[in-house]
């Protein structure tokens, strides 16, 4: 039996959304699939599926 999907809404700035979708398109994925993959990994591992970091250019600006 297939699980019933629920809708979720997120707010993103337009440029981040465009850039992310372009990268995901190149990988053959869409934003919804990426969000589900990330959440599944978060639930499975009990931690973020990436290591948060600050880019050096951001550090210099602040």
Span 26-55, pLDDT tens digits: 999 999 999 999 999 999 999 999 998 887
Contact by Cβ (8 Å): 35, 8: yes
Contact by Cβ (8 Å): 38, 30: no
Would you state the pLDDT for residue 3?
Answer: 85
Classify each residue of 21-55 as buried b or exposed e, where b means 16 or more C-beta atoms within 10 Å of its C-beta: eeeeeeeeeeeeeeeeeeeeeeeeeeeeeeeeeee
Task: Retrieve residue 32's tokens.
Answer: 């919804």
Separation of alpha carbons 9 and 52, rounded Å:
22
């Amino acid at each position: 039996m297939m699980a019933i999907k629920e809708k979720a809404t997120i707010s993103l700035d337009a440029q981040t959304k465009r850039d992310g979708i372009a990268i995901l398109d190149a990988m053959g994925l869409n934003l919804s699939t990426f969000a589900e993959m990330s959440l599944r990994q978060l639930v499975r591992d009990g931690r973020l599926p990436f290591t948060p970091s600050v880019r050096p250019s951001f550090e210099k600006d602040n």
